[in-house]
């Protein structure tokens, strides 16, 4: 190098030019030398190697370094640690990441490896580390291009309120354009500042206001988890926010119970609406009505089994196929029952009750013989799967669709009874059977069609119930008593009374359950109905007619 410097000076080059050439030459030599020397391990590689120490403190420190390193392997390594797929060899201090396809890579370099040494074991975790990992993964997904993942990550940070995540949250908040994600980041930042030791009193009060607006159970847990050594203004603000959140949650709890009651009421209405027709028109206490519901559920099972094995692409349409089939099959069975058993027992309610109860046992045993005694799987189509949040109320799609389906069946049945000839005849027979017969109405035909209609509606009720209950031979027994209570409470033969009775009992049941429990709640409902019937023997909406009023 010195010889080269002297050569340029002797050739008459200016000193400035000689120094420039000398510096370029020296830089090139350094680059060549650096490429010839093995690379030294950086902070990321050192952190990965700490997983092999089998020490919880070292693992905690390694997670923190890797999460903030910006290395593209960071998310994969911490995810593998969470799933138990991060293997460390205590002998060679090497760490390996096993993938889902059976292949493995070197965690530090990302290079594939032929196999993981037998001496490698999964890195151990404890509860504190699991919380640290959740926070780290949340921070790593804060910059995800998917808004849903960013929101999920922000919510994870909100729960852990790790102060180390504050710079990343601030950075993400500045770049965020999605409204929902921006709100999630704001709430996560407020949670961090609320527990940050060096945060100012004004920052904590502002954070409490943000958390108060959120107002859910997690926000309440965050505020109640504050230490008792807070400044007076912060403590007062937290107490006021806690009271407001609890009051709001009480209202949301009432709304949630009301939704559960509507959901239960729709199920009761669907199960009882067919019984209201047969009981009101024919005066038959049909104890086999629940088995018609069971038959509809098993029709759904058979339809789905055929679709699964032969036409899997049609699975989302399985319920649309099962509804008319269940109505036809259950309706035909109902007509056969009326023609062969019920028609000989009119005017003898006790014998009708015993006969239909025995028939229900026969039908249950027949189903056990054909399909077995165990529960059968009936799947939810994609459009009935999942749930969504409405405020702090969770609404499942299957319950929502069942409610809509029930109201549609009710509306169609009302229209049929009002505007069709068979509906007119059914109403005439209901109000005065003898007068209807004297006017030329074939009451025996009306009885058969009515029983078939009620049974068919019970069949489509089974299609709906198969989406929320176990499909088994005992399915109908779970709803027969409640169905009779709905019919008697609402008014025998009155569809509007059945509607009001079903939703009233459903809502009352769901409000009593948290107070008295499920069993005592049902007993209380039964006692209230008995007392109500003592005052109004014909139910809420009694039918009008000379024969009825006589």
**pLDDT tens column, 506-520:** 888 888 887 777 778
Give the side-chain half-sphere CA count within 13 A for 194.
33
Question: Considering only CA atoms, which of 540, 453, 450 is closest in space to residue 491?
Answer: 540
Q: How far apart are CA 548 and CA 127, in angstroms?
A: 70
Q: How far apart are CA 332 and CA 111, in angstroms?
A: 68
Q: Does 549 score more than 50 pLDDT? A: no
Q: What is the pLDDT of residue 407?
A: 92
Question: Considering only CA atoms, which of 268, 248, 216 is closest in space to residue 510?
Answer: 268
Q: What is the pLDDT of residue 303?
A: 94
Q: What is the mean pLDDT of residues 81-98?
A: 85
Q: How far apart are CA 137 and CA 250, in angstroms?
A: 34
Q: What is the pLDDT of residue 30?
A: 35
Q: Give the tens place of pLDDT for each residue, 358-392.
A: 999 999 999 999 998 888 888 888 888 888 888 77
Q: What is the mean pLDDT of residues 48-52?
A: 85
**SS3 labels along 29-67:** HHHHHHHHCCCCCCHHHHHHHHHHHCCHHHHHHHHHHHH
Q: Give the tens place of pLDDT for each residue, 313-337.
A: 888 899 999 999 999 999 999 999 9
Question: Considering only CA atoms, which of 268, 189, 195, 218 is closest in space to residue 478?
Answer: 268
Q: Give the tens place of pLDDT for each residue, 467-494.
A: 888 888 988 887 888 888 888 888 776 7
Q: Give the tens place of pLDDT for each residue, 287-311.
A: 888 899 999 999 999 999 999 988 8
Q: What is the pLDDT of residue 108?
A: 82
- Rounded to the nearest 5°, which phi and psi values hold at 144? -65, 145
**SS3 labels along 185-232:** HHHHHHHHHHHCCCCCHHHHHHHHHHHHHHCCHHHHHHHHCCCCCCCH
Q: What is the mean pLDDT of residues 74-97?
A: 84
DSSP state of 385: S
Longest Cα–Cα distance of the chain, Å, equals 138
Q: What is the pLDDT of residue 300?
A: 93
The three-point CA angle 245-248-253 to 5° equals 120
Q: Does 17 score more than 60 pLDDT? A: no
Rounded to an integer, what is the distance from CA 52 to the centroid of its chain?
40
406 burial (CB, 10 Å; 0-12 / 13-18 / 19+) is buried
Q: Does 280 score more than 90 pLDDT? A: no
Mean confidence (pLDDT) of the chain: 81
Q: Is 394 left (phi over 0), alpha (psi -120 to 50) or beta?
A: beta
Q: Evaluate whether 128 touches 60 at the Cβ level (below 8 Å).
A: yes
Q: Give the tens place of pLDDT for each residue, 142-193.
A: 767 778 878 888 888 888 887 877 887 888 888 888 888 889 889 988 989 8
Q: Give the tens place of pLDDT for each residue, 525-544.
A: 888 888 888 787 777 776 55
Give the residue ranges of DSSP H helices in 215-288: 217-224, 232-282
Question: Considering only CA atoms, which of 495, 499, 483 is closest in space to residue 430?
Answer: 495
425 vs 25, 328, 419, 443, 506, CA distance in Å? 109, 21, 11, 8, 32
Q: Evaluate whether 454 touches 280 at the Cβ level (below 8 Å).
A: no
Q: What is the pLDDT of residue 307?
A: 92
What angle in degrees, to the nearest 10, is found between the helix axes of 201-214 and 217-224?
150
Q: Does 78 score more than 70 pLDDT? A: yes
User: What is the Cα gyration radius of the chain?
Assistant: 36
Q: What is the pLDDT of residue 22?
A: 42
């Amino acid at each position: 190098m010195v010889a080269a410097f002297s050569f340029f000076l002797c050739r008459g080059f200016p000193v400035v030019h000689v120094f420039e050439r000398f510096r370029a030459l020296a830089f090139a030599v350094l680059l060549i030398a650096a490429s010839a020397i093995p690379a030294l391990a950086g902070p990321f590689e050192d952190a990965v190697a700490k997983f092999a120490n089998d020490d919880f403190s070292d693992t905690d420190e390694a997670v923190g370094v890797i999460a903030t390193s910006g290395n593209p392997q960071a998310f994969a390594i911490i995810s593998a640690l969470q799933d138990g797929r991060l293997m460390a060899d205590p002998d060679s201090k090497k760490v390996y990441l096993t993938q889902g396809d059976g292949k493995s890579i070197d965690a530090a370099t990302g290079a594939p490896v032929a196999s993981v040494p037998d001496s490698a074991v999964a890195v151990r975790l404890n509860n504190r580390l699991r919380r640290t990992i959740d926070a780290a993964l949340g921070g790593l997904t804060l910059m995800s291009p998917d808004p849903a993942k960013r929101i999920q990550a922000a919510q994870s940070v909100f729960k852990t309120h790790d102060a180390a995540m504050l710079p990343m949250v601030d950075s993400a908040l500045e770049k965020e354009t999605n409204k929902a994600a921006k709100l999630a980041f704001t709430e996560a930042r407020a949670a961090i500042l609320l527990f940050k030791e060096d945060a100012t009193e004004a920052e904590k009060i502002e954070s409490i206001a943000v958390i108060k607006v959120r107002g859910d159970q997690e926000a309440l847990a965050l505020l109640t988890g504050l230490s008792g050594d807070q400044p007076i203004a912060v403590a007062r603000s937290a107490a006021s926010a806690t009271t407001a959140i609890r009051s709001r949650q009480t209202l949301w709890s009432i709304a949630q119970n009301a939704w559960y009651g509507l959901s239960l009421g729709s199920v009761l209405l669907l199960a009882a609406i067919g019984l209201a027709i047969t009981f009101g028109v024919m005066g038959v206490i049909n104890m086999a009505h629940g088995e018609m519901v069971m038959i509809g559920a098993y029709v759904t099972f058979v339809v789905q089994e055929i679709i699964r094995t032969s036409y899997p692409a049609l699975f989302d349409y399985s319920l649309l196929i099962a509804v008319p089939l269940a109505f036809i099959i259950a309706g035909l069975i109902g007509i056969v029952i009326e023609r062969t058993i019920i028609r000989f027992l009119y005017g003898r309610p006790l014998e009708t009750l015993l006969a239909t109860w025995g028939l229900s046992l026969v039908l249950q045993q027949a189903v056990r013989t054909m399909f077995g005694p165990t529960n059968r799987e009936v799947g939810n189509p994609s459009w009935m799967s999942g749930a969504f949040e409405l405020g702090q109320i969770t609404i499942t799609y299957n319950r929502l669709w069942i409610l809509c389906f029930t109201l549609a069946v009710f509306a169609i049945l009302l229209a049929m009874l009002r505007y069709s000839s068979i509906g007119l005849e059914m109403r005439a027979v209901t109000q005065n059977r003898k007068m209807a017969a004297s006017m030329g109405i074939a009451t025996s035909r009306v009885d058969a069609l009515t029983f078939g209609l009620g049974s068919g509606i019970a069949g489509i009720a089974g299609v709906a119930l198969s989406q929320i209950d176990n499909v088994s031979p005992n399915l109908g027994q779970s709803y027969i008593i409640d169905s009779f209570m709905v019919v008697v409470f609402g008014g025998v033969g009155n569809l509007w009374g059945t509607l009001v009775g079903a939703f009233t009992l459903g809502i009352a049941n769901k409000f009593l359950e948290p107070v008295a429990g499920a069993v005592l709640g049902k007993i209380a409902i039964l006692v209230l109905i008995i007392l109500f019937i003592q005052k109004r023997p014909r139910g809420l909406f009694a039918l009008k007619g000379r024969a009825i009023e006589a």
